[in-house]
Chain A
């Protein structure tokens, strides 16, 4: 019996190595008056991501460096941060794709900084919770009656909004959220539209009634940068702005509504 053929596996140390410099905004509450930059030089595989560089720093240079991460593959939404001034996911941003020179890493813009690259998500979570983020079935069906059916076309109507990973890059991108932290914002509106656009759902009016005010859709000025930075092509700008149309029509048509909102 012949030996199984093993293809040579390139070990980390055999891959071309490169040294990168990262300028990271640091902040320790209770010790620092305000955030300040710290510089680190990281040597690692040439194809390393910003996240891998941060992990290398934490492992070998400064164990106090704090940052959120989980899946390493752009589905959990944990590692959002400002990389060279642009909101990006650290796990899917490769250092070799950035311009040469020191890379500036800061916590997500427009959010309070808890520590280093960790920001407060409390308000965002409340916004998500506020849009009734669950299917409110249009028609009640028993299990015996079978599932709610949906055509591919019906799914296409809301599909992009269901791809949201709650990474909050869109909030970092939105200058109106930066000016007004009470603005419901692109991510929560994407969640809202994911359900309002779902043919199985019957809670449209209920959700619409949460966004008619200045902190609802009307803080948006259609900058559109949120959709540009979204790593999942959710198109939150569309979620917000199509609901301007809905809110505007509702402004006049509400007097014709006979049924009470649930």
Chain B
């Protein structure tokens, strides 16, 4: 009998799917998003200067589709990073697994809930 048979199920599949979704989303749109929000919009290159105005940003956050995108991107990017950072720190033996899990998955969970809450609070 080998140690891997009849083991109880791990939560890893769930975390792995979140990691995969975040990884795919960031692989497809990450470069574009960074370019748009971090370079083009702040410098006004190819985009109007008022693209990032408070009213504009608020309208985006109040739009149901905008909310979905914001929640999806922020939450999945965090879950993706969390799994990678957790596993890498585990490789490096940076600390006990439970502590590493809280620092990574825990933060991702908090950010997900906070993002959800903030997007609701901002209103429609």
Residues of A within 8 A of B (CB): 123, 126-127, 129-130, 175, 179, 182-184, 210-216, 218, 221, 244, 247-248, 250-251
Contacts and interface: CB of A to CB of B under 8 A. Distances in A.
Given A182-B3, A184-B2, A251 B8 contact: no
Contacts of B14: 248, 251
By size class, the interface of chain B is 10 to 19
Given A126-B2, A244-B13, A213 B8 contact: yes
Nearest to A222: B87
Contacts of B13: 212, 218, 244, 247-248, 250-251
A216 B91 contact: no
A221 B91 CA distance: 10
Contacts of A123: 2
Given A175-B91, A221-B87, A248-B17, A214 B5 contact: no
A215 B16 CA distance: 15
Contacts of A248: 13-14, 16-17
Interface of B: 1-5, 7-10, 12-14, 16-17, 87, 91
A244 B10 CA distance: 12
A210 B87 CA distance: 23
B87 A216 contact: no
Interface hub of A210, A211, A212 (most chain B Cβ within 10 A): A212
Contacts of A215: 2-4, 7
A121 to B, nearest CB: 13
A221 B2 CA distance: 21
Contact of A130 (B4, B9, B10, B17): B4
Nearest to B14: A251
A244 B3 CA distance: 18
Contacts of B1: 126, 130
Given A127-B4, A182-B2, A212-B13, 4 more contacts: A130-B1, A221-B91, A247-B13, A251-B13
B91 A211 contact: no
Interface hub of B2, B10, B12, B13 (most chain A Cβ within 10 A): B2
Contacts of A182: 2-4
A213 B7 contact: yes
